[in-house]
Amino acid sequence: MTSTREDLWRILECLTAEQFKNFQWFLKEEDVKNKFPAIAQARLEGADRQDTIDLMVQKYRPSGAVQITMKILGKINRNDLVQDLSNKSNEGKNMKS
């Protein structure tokens, strides 16, 4: 079983440089409806994939980081990765049960 951070890293590694840039842009936008506060632009500036994951987990906790990742992946039309991450999350839940 992999950790949430590893799962997120594997997903973000599948993004092109442009998609990753767009992903980070959405992290800077507050999502009031779903209670995801924005991550400050200064914190994301120069952040690679691992740094970005660390920032998300610190800000939203592991489960929130997975939720916001799936939401943003949908916005950048990477529904294939949403499905992959959803499957990984469900595998982890089933292992704990």
User: pLDDT tens digits, residue range 51-94?
Assistant: 999 999 999 999 999 999 999 999 999 999 999 999 987 765 55
Where does residue 93 rank: exposed (0-12), middle (13-18), buried (19+ CB within 10 A)? exposed
pLDDT in tens, 1-47: 579 999 999 999 999 999 999 999 999 998 877 789 999 999 999 99
Second CATH level (architecture) for the domain 4-91:
Orthogonal Bundle (1.10)
pLDDT given at position 97? 40
Domain ranges of the chain: 4-91
Q: Residue 72 CB: number of other CB atoms within 10 A?
A: 22
